[in-house]
Structure 1
Amino acid sequence: MRLSAILLFLLSLMLARAAETRVLFLGDSITYDGRWAAWVESALRNNAAYADAEILNLGLGSETTSGLSEQGHAGGKFPRPCIHERLGRVLAACKPTLVIACYGMNDGIYQPLDEARMNAYRQGMTKLKEEVEKTGSKIVFVTPAIFQPDTPEKDTLHYDAVLDAQAKWLKGQRAAGWKVVDIRPDLRLFLEAMDVMDPDFVFSPDGVHPAERGHAEMGKMIAKGLWPLLGLKGEPKMASERNFPLLKKHADLLRDAYLTETKHTRPGVPEGKPVPEATAESKRLLEVYQAVNRAKKSMWNGHPMEEFTADGRSALLVMPRNGIQPGSPWIWRTEFFGHEPQADISLLNRGFCVAYIDMQDMYGSPKAMGHMDAFYDFLRTGYDVSPKVVLEGFSRGGLFAFNWAALHPGQVAGLYVDAPVCDFKSWPGGKGVGPGSAGDWEKLLKVYGMTEAEALAYTKNPVDNLEPLAKAGIPIFAVIGDADEGVPVGENIDIVEKRYKLFGGKIEVIRKPGGKHHPHSLPDPTPIVEAVMKMVGR
């Protein structure tokens, strides 16, 4: 009996948490812009209660709650839309459990304080609260930003005083149980501080719409005010500036899709993708964002490293000391990360990133290619690295490097291979002069899903599949020991070199006289580094 009671209690807690997983932002063009809402979303997603919530921003430019519109709005093209025209459709489509609404900037239609207009605003906000709460959702109101914050002397109609009156009325409703976040006092303090720190700072270039920093500050202030209202512990933690654009892109996709789906009436709003398509794409972006956002941060040979999970595999990216830039060049170590790292470290010092995903015991198989495809997309999406990568294949890593390059020649700047396996019949098969590896051969057959006879007849080993690389003009740079006993050069790189030249490909092989399979690389990695730099046009 006692156990049943405990289980019911735990279930009720789970249901209580699950019930608050759909958040909807509503507002005018400042909300539609998406930046402050995305900053708040980032804070919510950093809290366990909202980490996997469905969060939508359906703000709409020019919108009011009052239903008022000035004469000649938008050059006479259309009157201001009112949230109440679309609210029922939006609530039905989104089924929010929490609504965060920021209205007011447009509700006084940029005229002096007037009781009739103020009353229309009060009635509109009250109706908004009632309609939202009828669905069982909670609603939190956010006071509007400041009008003409940088040039208050131009506010000749004292419109900011109208916004003050709205904020005062909203705060007065707290006594009746309304949940209100008032950002205006903090915004004024922020503006006063910026006047001292940076006299050239501009919060709102047109007097209404905040710029980048303004949206970020609004997001922080709103999140700070939400935390106690939502019963969340600790302080809000926002996204990093580097990760923020990814979250914003995800939010904008959903915004455009749902605005189109719910049939708003405002002209000039770009049409969104169908909701299922946008949802699938946005889910992928959110997964990448969350993986990057939760990455374990450390240092590797004096360079920042982030470790994360990509496509279910452990992966990492090491970045230059001065930070990653959009389109940064990168080299992808396909196996044995950290072994003989001198070339990688030197490239990091020259602005490269070094990437790695764990694909142990996959031997360049089609399954490994799928993980590589996903990892490439992950890094392009989450870190905005260059669309063309240099593949670095040590030993069996050569199978991965050559095979992926043959599948995606347009995404490869070049290959640096070191004592590479170029034919799995040679290693681990041991079907030539080398000893091979019986254990690895069994693992390879399993991961490729082949019998030994099928493996021996396989025609997509790197030695067989060089023409796509040559046609794409991909340069190959190899370092080998000419007495390699484990991966015999006569069965691997020698065949590649001969065939690649016949295809018109460019290949350079550095041969270490008497060198065995180990050690890899060169004590002085300068030739490797210079070759890689040339591959990316540096």
Structure 2
Amino acid sequence: MKQIKLILLFLFFLPLATSNAQKSKKIKVACIGNSITFGYGIKDRLKNAYPEQLARMLGEGYEVRNFGISGRTLLSKGNMPYIETQAYKNALAYNPDIVIIKLGTNDSKDFNWVHKDDFEGDYLKLLESFQKLESNPSIYPCLAVPVYKKGRKISAEVVTNEVNPRIKEIAKEQGLKLIDLYTPMLDKGEMFPDAIHPNGEGAGEIAKIIYENLTGKEAVLVDQNFPGKKSDWKGFTKYSFEFNGKDAFVIEPNKPLAGKPWVWRARFPGWHTEMDSILVSEGYYIAYLNTNNQFGSPKAVKSWDRFYKYLIRSHDFNKKVALEGVSRGGLFIYNWAKKNPELVSCIYAEAPVCDFKSWPGGFGTGIGSEKSWSILKEEYGFKSDAEAKKYANNPIDNLDALAQAKVPILHMISLTDSVVPSTENTLPFVNKYLELGGIATVVTCTEGKQTLHGHHFPIETPRLGADFIKYYNTPEAKPLQSSAYHQLRGGLQNSQIKFEHEKKGRVAFLGGSITYNGGWRDSITNYLKNRFPETQFEFIAAGIPSTGSTPGAFRMKRDLFKDGPIDLLFEEAAVNDATNGRTDEEQIRAMEGIVRHARNLNPATDIVFMHFVDPGKMKLYRQGRTPKVIKNHEKVAEHYGIPSINLALEVTERIDAGEFTWKDDFKNLHPSPFGQGVYARSMIAFLENNWTGPAAEDDKIKSHRLPKPLDELNYDNGELIDISKAKTSGDWEVVSNWKPQDGKGTRPNYTDVPMLIGEKTNKGKATLNFVGNTVGIAVAAGPDAGIIEYRIDNGKWKKLDLLTNWSRSLHLPWFFTLASGLENKQHRLQIKIAEKDDPKRTGNTCRIRYFYINK
């Protein structure tokens, strides 16, 4: 009876045990694809290629592997078929539970697409090869992402009109869930720097789309500083990952030192970690690459070269590294150091092997290792002991370059070590190094218990080793100079002459909320009054929150030059031009329009462009890329000789240099008082560098040269048109003193003012007759913003949604350019309210503050 009860008890717990086993088994995801899957062009593809970002979102229950290979085609007759790669074989051997296929982009090349009739058959063969696997995986075909430039080998037209429709049809016929990576990635060209490959941000968008298709949950990106799995290491974060097929890790300090100094550990990374713990606690990174059974061979050194380049290029580690080796680790650190002496700050070693004839060869007094010697000979390609003994590039050999570079070394040794005898390794090595002019220190460890024939011994002074590395491997803190971020170009001589000779000056500040708010602007006005104490200044604060260069270009006459010429104009728009989604064309037309308009009204006007910082710009600069909006503004500045101040780059590099932090000090793109001070100090230094001494008595104000425009359609004669100039019918009316009734926020000059308002569908029109080549409307786009239809000169009606990303909580000033490139003659603009496209929309209102035109 007892036996029956035990059997029943076993059967009762069996499903639970099976269930727990199933729960502990990770779901394996194989990402099949080309360079876009591989992560080509991404600064740290190991961390930010889409499979890696997908893995972080999916979490611990999943294992995601990247089987992407650059340049590969789905077509078997393509120039580089995916099915011929080792990655494809590895993917099959992986026996995945989920397969994501993203192929087809390279097939669009003309020499590949001649085989387009084979595309469906080859795709089915690929599907079948995975369908036959024992794991019976779920397979997700993906549409290719958009190609953002025509006229390349990879064809945008073929991808859009031929490759993707075929993939869509295959998925439908096979009953497979299709992942559309094409449609959601449209209008995201800024995420494709070369028009084909996504950057890290674009790869994140791809990962989010795939995640939502796999899980049905809303995707939220999971970011971390390094690739791989995070774990705790003595209270610090350790990232373990695979690098070129080898295990690697990085241990991250809680507060990294400026310049990102690091220690590169060779072999036995878990041995004697006291010194490493001290260094990490004091701001150093620890890195490791597993090349264990390669004994510092030329192949191992090449792997180290690649790992070094990865950490320097992808993570901005300091170019000079401290090397740390234990036992056979000496073969690695010294062979790499001799090849790269200029990259090594110092070398620390414990009982290091300096000559492999001693260990593992055992041809001296040491014990040696027959097994390790056999592996070493195979790794180096030696055919015999005799050939190995003749090898003349052990660590102890050819030390001249390392000694001449004055790379300091510190060895900790045991005098009783009979595995790696000091008499055959450290002592002759150090003597030779000193004779060559090198710097060397040897510490003999004699206290404590010594085991393994004296080869294992306690380190008596880990603090000494840590201080040795700190002394030689701490980057010099060089304070950054603001002048490095200034472009003086044509200078500001006119304004200085005006302020000093005529004792009068009109200074204007044009921009968005960062200009509207107090802070740096107050500091500049105070500086000018102190710098020119006898000058009577008029300061025009023309900043309006949320606005960029396009509104600025049409406000020149009313808000800046209405009461006279401007002598010095500060203009900023880089933050809002980017976040408001203004196209490259609009940015250049607007910035150029501001310059030309100002100098048409006053040829002597000095102008300064300022590029303020935001997190997006910081991210791009850290990827080694200049934000597109700053490129556009600088293009105009260069063309017209406009001085500029790149505060976006300056703040980024000061943060990276450890001067302050974004989170605790700068706080926001609307800077804290501390951040306002950073801006002001840089601007004052800029002005001081322009005005190095007093203007000479005979210096004359000169007109600035006005070259041919970059874009003939720039907004050089933009102006605001009062709403009273429009004719209205039906429901449209002018409300003389409009203010919001919904409790939502407003902006200055967009409340308690006249507004032309239309709310009802097909109930009349607002009509403006104008002369010009550009026309638009400046609206208060709040939660009730609707959809309008408009047309020019009885042309085709076009629709425009006035609801912006920020309208839900704010009646936002927004400039909608309705037409540009028109003939500069008489035109008629008509506007009406369109049908609602969403019944949940809170309103359908068009609320116009101004019309604007450019003549």
Given the two structures, how large is their TM-score scaled by the length of structure 1? 0.53
1:333 aligns with 2:265: yes
Q: How much has 1:299 moved relative to structure 2?
A: 0.9
1:134 and 2:161 equivalent?
yes
Report the counterpart of residue 509 of structure 1 in structure 2: 442
Distance in 1 between residues matched to 2:278 and 2:245, nearest whole Å:
30
Gaps of 5+ in 1: 1-16, 24-33, 56-88, 103-128, 140-176, 185-208, 211-215, 244-291
Q: 1:46 aligns with which of 48, 54, 57?
A: 54
Shift, 1:349, TM fit? 0.6
What secondary structure is seen at the aligned counterpart in 2 of 1:499? Answer: helix
Question: Which residue of structure 2 aligns with residue 525 of structure 1?
Answer: 462
Change (3 A) 1:488 1:180: closer
Q: CA deviation at 1:399?
A: 1.1
1:406 Cα deviation from its structure 2 partner: 0.5
Q: Distance in 1 between matches of 2:304 and 2:252?
A: 19
Task: Identify which of 198, 221, 231 aligns with 1:238.
Answer: 221
SS of alignment partner, residue 489 of structure 1: coil
Q: Distance in 2 between matches of 1:342 and 1:49?
A: 35
Structure 1's 503 and 321: CA in aligned 2 closer, same or farther, altered over 3 A?
same
Give the equivalent residue in structure 2 for 1:375.
307
Paired letter, 1:517: G
* Structure 1 contact 45–51 (Cα < 8 Å) conserved: no
In the TM superposition, what are the counterparts of 1:209-220 in structure 2 within 5 Å?
none
Question: Displacement of 1:474 after TM fit?
Answer: 0.7
Q: CA deviation at 1:439?
A: 2.2
Change (3 A) 1:53 1:100: farther
Q: Deviations over 1:137-187 (max 9, x none)?
A: 269xxxxxxxxxxxxxxxxxxxxxxxxxxxxxxxxxxxxx9x976999xxx
1:52: how far off? 3.7
1:511 corresponds to which letter in structure 2? Answer: T
Residue number in structure 1 paired with 2:415: 482
- Partner SS, residue 240 of structure 1: coil
**CA separation of 1:232/1:477 partners in 2, compared to 1, >3 Å: closer, same or farther?**
same
From 75, 98, 123, the equivalent of 2:144 is: 98
State how far apart, in whole Å, the 1-side matches of 2:416 and 2:282 are: 33
Task: Please name the residue that 1:303 is paired with.
Answer: 236
Q: Which has the higher strand share?
A: 2
1:467 aligns with 2:400: yes
- Counterpart CA distance in 2 for 1:509 and 1:22 is 51
Distance (Å, rounded) in 2 between the aligned partners of 1:358 and 1:50: 20
Q: In the aligned structure 1, how far is the partner of 2:325 from the partner of 2:249?
A: 16
Q: Summarize the Cα distance change of 1:19–1:489 in structure 2 as closer, same or farther, 3 Å threshold.
A: closer
Partner of 2:473: 536
> What CA distance in whole angstroms lies between the structure 2 residues aligned with 1:350 and 1:525?
14
Offset at residue 382 of structure 1 (A):
3.5
Match of 2:350 in 1: 418
8 Å Cα contact 1:43-1:237 kept in structure 2: no
Distance 1:49 1:232, change over 3 A: farther
State whether residues 33 and 68 of structure 2, in contact with CA within 8 Å, keep that contact through their aligned partners in structure 1: no
d(CA) in 2 for partners of 1:454 and 1:371? Answer: 24
Contact 2:445 2:459 in 1 (8 A): no
SS of alignment partner, residue 471 of structure 2: helix
Match of 1:426, SS state, is coil
Q: CA deviation at 1:325?
A: 7.0
Deviation at 1:531, TM superposition (A): 0.5
Q: Aligned equivalents of 2:406 and 2:339: distance in 1?
A: 14
For residues 472-525 of structure 1, the C-alpha deviation after alignment (integer angstroms, 9 at most, x for no partner) is 111101111122222111111111111111110000111124776344462441
- Whether the 8 Å contact between 1:421 and 1:492 is mirrored in structure 2 is yes
> 1:452 and 2:385 equivalent?
yes
Describe the shift of the 1:534–1:419 C-alpha distance in structure 2 as closer, same or farther (beyond 3 A). Answer: same
State the alpha-carbon separation in 2 of the partners of residues 529 and 399 from structure 1: 21
Q: Deviations over 1:10-53 (max 9, x none)?
A: xxxxxxx9799979xxxxxxxxxx99xxx998489627799849
Give the Cα separation in 1 of the matches to 2:208 and 2:339: 51
Report the secondary structure of 2:470's partner residue: helix
Counterpart for residue 291 of structure 2? 359
Instruction: Evaluate the alpha carbon distance shift between residue 90 and residue 492 of structure 1 in structure 2; reply closer, same or farther with a 3 A threshold.
Output: closer
- Given that 1:326 and 1:384 are in contact with CA atoms closer than 8 Å, whether structure 2 keeps it comes out as no
**Structure 1: which amino acid aligns with 2:164?**
S
CA–CA separation in structure 2 for the residues paired with 1:348 and 1:326 = 13
SS of 1:98's equivalent? coil
- TM-score normalised to the size of structure 2? 0.34
AA matched with 2:221: M
Q: Secondary structure at the match of 1:490?
A: coil
Judging changes above 3 Å, is the alpha-carbon distance between structure 1 residues 241 and 438 closer, same or farther for their aligned structure 2 residues? closer
- Asked if 2 retains the 8 angstrom alpha-carbon contact of 1:22 and 1:97, the reply is no
In 2, Cα distance between equivalents of 1:520 and 1:536: 26
Tell me the equivalent position of 2:578. Answer: none
State how far apart, in whole Å, the 2-side matches of 1:435 and 1:19 are: 51
Aligned to 1:408: 340
- Aligned partner of 2:276 in structure 1 is 344
From the superposition, tell whether residues 457 and 379 of structure 1 become closer, same or farther in structure 2 (CA, over 3 Å): same
Aligned to 2:292, the other structure's residue is in SS state: coil
Q: CA deviation at 1:101?
A: 9.1
Q: Could you say which residue in structure 2 is the equivalent of 1:314?
A: 247
State the shift of 1:461 in Å.
Answer: 1.1
* SS of corresponding position for 1:354: strand
The 1:446–1:502 alpha-carbon spacing in structure 2 relative to 1, beyond 3 Å, is same
Distance in 1 (CA, whole Å) between partners of 2:349 and 2:294 is 18
1:179-210 deviation line (CA, Å, top 9, x unaligned)? 976999xxxxxxxxxxxxxxxxxxxxxxxx99
Cα distance in structure 2, aligned partners of 1:482 and 1:366: 30
Residue 237 of structure 1, CA deviation:
4.7
2: CA distance between counterparts of 1:490 and 1:439? Answer: 23
CA contact (8 A) 1:333 1:392 kept: yes
1:392 touches 1:417 (CA, 8 Å); kept in 2?
A: yes
* Higher relative contact order (Cα pairs below 8 Å, separated by 6+ residues): 1
Report the counterpart of residue 326 of structure 2 in structure 1. Answer: 394
Give the 3-state SS of the residue equivalent to 1:390 in structure 2.
strand
Distance, in Å, in 2 between the alignment partners of 1:512 and 1:221 is 51
Root-mean-square deviation (Å): 4.8
- Matched positions, count: 341
Deviation of residue 329 (structure 1)?
1.2
Work out the CA distance in 2 between the residues paired with 1:495 and 1:238: 55
Letter in structure 2 aligned against 1:137: N
Corresponding residue SS for 1:333 = strand
Matched to 2:162, the amino acid is T
Larger Rg: 2
What amino acid sits opposite 1:454 in the alignment? Answer: E
Contact 1:320 1:348 in 2 (8 A): yes
Q: Tell me how far 1:316 sits from its aligned partner.
A: 1.0
Q: Which amino acid aligns with 2:144?
A: L
Offset of residue 340 of structure 1: 1.1
Query: Compared with structure 1, are the counterparts of its residues 234 and 360 closer, same or farther at alpha carbon in structure 2 (3 Å cutoff)?
Result: same
Structure 1 SS opposite 2:293 = coil
Structure 2 segments unaligned to the other structure (5+ residues): 1-30, 56-63, 72-105, 114-141, 149-155, 167-179, 192-198, 476-855
Label 1:500 to 1:233 Cα distance change in 2 as closer, same or farther (>3 A): same
* AA partner of residue 240 (structure 1): D
Q: Helix, strand or coil for the counterpart of 2:282?
A: coil
Change (3 A) 1:520 1:312: farther
Post-superposition offset of 1:371: 2.0
Check conservation: 1:42, 1:238, Cα contact below 8 A: no
Distance in 1, matches of 2:442 and 2:243, equals 33
Aligned partner of 2:820 in structure 1 is none
- Deviations along 1:69-122, one digit per CA (max 9) or x if unpaired, are xxxxxxxxxxxxxxxxxxxx99757989434599xxxxxxxxxxxxxxxxxxxx
Rounded Cα–Cα distance in structure 1 between residues aligned with 2:293 and 2:185:
57
